[in-house]
Amino acid sequence: MNLFTAEINGWSSWGKVFQSISTFKPLIRHIFAEENLPLSKIERCTPGTHAVFRVGDYVIKIFAPEESGFDGTVDFETEVFAMQRATMLGVSVPKLMTCGALQVQYRFSYLIMEYKSGIEFNKLSPTLTFEQKVAIGQRLRVITNTLNQPCDAFNQIDVIHGENRQQRWEKYAERFKRERLDYISSHDFGEKVFVHGDLNGDNILLSPEKELTIIDFADAVLAPAVYEQALIVCELFQFNKAYMQGYFGDYTVDAITDLCFNGLLIHDFGGDIIEQRVGPVDQINSLEALHRCLYLCIKYTQTFKGPYEA
């Protein structure tokens, strides 16, 4: 029996099937049988880069094969390392049950973890009080302080100088791109530590008691702490003062502006986050313009969309 019949020959072909239960059902059934785990109803999970499904008390994550144009091997190895490290440090993450790889028509790496109930941060956030948001910010700071510590290298990703990490900046003005490269080549961003890398609203689950569980470690890297914190401020908190008060304590707008400025310029998702949360690409045509827009977003807790000429 052929366990996987879809054809994968590029990213668009993977995008058409990676959420398809019918496409992955034979493969999932086989993996669960091989791992001696009970098979239950297969349900989709929040879509990302890889194929993720809930199967009863478990979640299986099947990583994109190299034929997709995105070799998921690095993500797989990173996530296994990161989940084991987080568990060892006492951070609430899904328990990793097993992991492996299966060669069928394509080679699929996979991991199976326990299913953790909870509501995604971005879905619950609008219902929370100021005080609850402060408390959540405080709890998240404890978690990131625990995670964001030096550790041995676990992948070969260079967050600052990696040539393949420039694609999301191509849409920016030549002046901006030139200034950015000059800046990140000469600026001291501080010690590199372990960072989750993608603490957005889909990757934090809240229990009824508002305890936090962290999921999806595939984008973990060694990077300066501002890499983590900038995404938290701009993407997760979206400049909300209650969250920032809880996370940073007594902070100044100037200090958080500098933190976000430095963190976004080296973040793999920085170019997209700026466009989605800070302001239009055509208005952010220099580093000075970016710094000014960030300052206004943080000061007024809103995306800045007005004209600004550096």
* pLDDT tens-digit series, residues 198-256: 999 999 999 988 899 999 999 999 999 999 999 999 999 999 999 999 999 999 999 99
pLDDT value, residue 2: 85
Q: Are residues 109 and 127 in the same domain?
A: no
Please provide the DSSP assignment of 229-285 as one string. HHHIIIIISTT-HHHHHHHHSS--HHHHHHHHHHHHHH-TTHHHHIIIII--TTT--
Query: SS3 of 124, please?
Result: helix
Q: Name the 3-class secondary structure at 213.
A: strand
The pLDDT of residue 260 is above 50? yes
Q: Output the furthest CA–CA distance in the chain (Å, rounded).
A: 63
| CATH at 296 | 3.90.1200
| pLDDT value for 306 | 45
CA distances (Å), 64 to each of 141, 142, 177, 196, 218, in order?
32, 33, 30, 20, 12
Do residues 229 and 145 lie in contact, with contact meaning Cβ atoms separated by under 8 Å? no
4 occurs within a structural domain: no
pLDDT for the residue 309:
39
- Residue 101, classed as helix, strand or coil, is strand
- Overall average pLDDT of the 116-125 stretch: 94
Quick check: 294 pLDDT over 60? yes
Give tens-digit pLDDT for 132-181: 999 999 999 999 999 999 999 999 899 998 877 788 899 999 999 999 99
**302 — pLDDT class (breaks 50, 70, 90):** low
C-alpha span between 191 and 226 (Å, rounded)? 10
Averaged over 113-133, what is the pLDDT?
95
Asked whether residue 305 is assigned to any structural domain, the reply reads no
Residue 90 and residue 182 share a domain: no
* Number of domains present in the structure of the chain: 2
Q: Is residue 187 part of a domain?
A: yes
Do the domain assignments include residue 3?
Answer: no
Q: Which pLDDT score, from 0 to 100, does residue 303 have?
A: 55
Q: Is 194 helix (H, G, I), strand (E, B) or coil?
A: strand
Residue 277 maps to a domain: yes
Answer whether residue 46 is part of any domain.
Answer: yes
The mean predicted confidence, pLDDT, of the chain is 93
Looking at residue 271, its pLDDT comes to 96
Asked if 146 and 227 touch (Cβ cutoff 8 Å), the reply is: no
- C-alpha–C-alpha distance, residues 165 and 74, integer Å: 15
Are 27 and 2 in contact, with CB atoms under 8 Å apart? Answer: no
The last residue of a domain, from among 94, 114, 134: 114
Residues 101 and 208 in one domain: no
Does 143 lie in the same domain as 95? no
| CB-based contacts of 31, cutoff 8 Å, min separation 6 | 60, 100, 102, 110, 112
Which CATH number do you get for residue 64? 3.30.200.20
Specify the pLDDT at position 285: 94
Same domain, yes or no: 71 and 209:
no
Residue 6 falls inside a structural domain: no
Non-local CB neighbours of 73 within 8 Å, separated by 6+ positions: 63, 66, 109
Tokens describing residue 173: 């003005």
Domain end call among 61, 79, 114: 114
Q: What is the mean pLDDT of residues 248-270?
A: 97
**Domain limits for position 253:** 119-300
pLDDT given for residue 310 in this prediction: 37
Model pLDDT, residue 167: 81
Q: Are residues 132 and 78 in the same domain?
A: no
C-beta separation of 51 from 19 below 8 A? yes
Mean pLDDT of 269-286: 94
pLDDT at 207: 92
DSSP 225: H
Spell out where 104-186 has E strands.
107-114, 119-120
- Predicted confidence at residue 24, as pLDDT, reads 96
Q: Is the pLDDT of residue 276 over 80?
A: yes
The answer as to whether 308 is a domain residue is no
142 shares a domain with 73: no
* Residue in the structure block whose two tokens are 């191509």: 170
Q: Is 35 in the same domain as 160?
A: no
Q: What is the mean pLDDT of residues 282-305?
A: 88
293 and 233 belong to one structural domain = yes
Residue after which a domain boundary falls, among 58, 85, 114: 114
Q: Are residues 295 and 149 in the same domain?
A: yes
CA atoms within a 13 Å half-sphere pointing along the CA-CB vector of 105: 16
Q: Apex CA 49: angle with CA 213 and CA 214, to 5°?
A: 10
Domain check: are 201 and 235 in the same one? yes
Identify whether residues 167 and 35 lie together within a single domain: no
Q: Is the pLDDT of residue 47 over 90?
A: no
User: Which structure tokens are listed for 111?
Assistant: 């991991």
User: Coil, strand, or helix at residue 32?
Assistant: helix
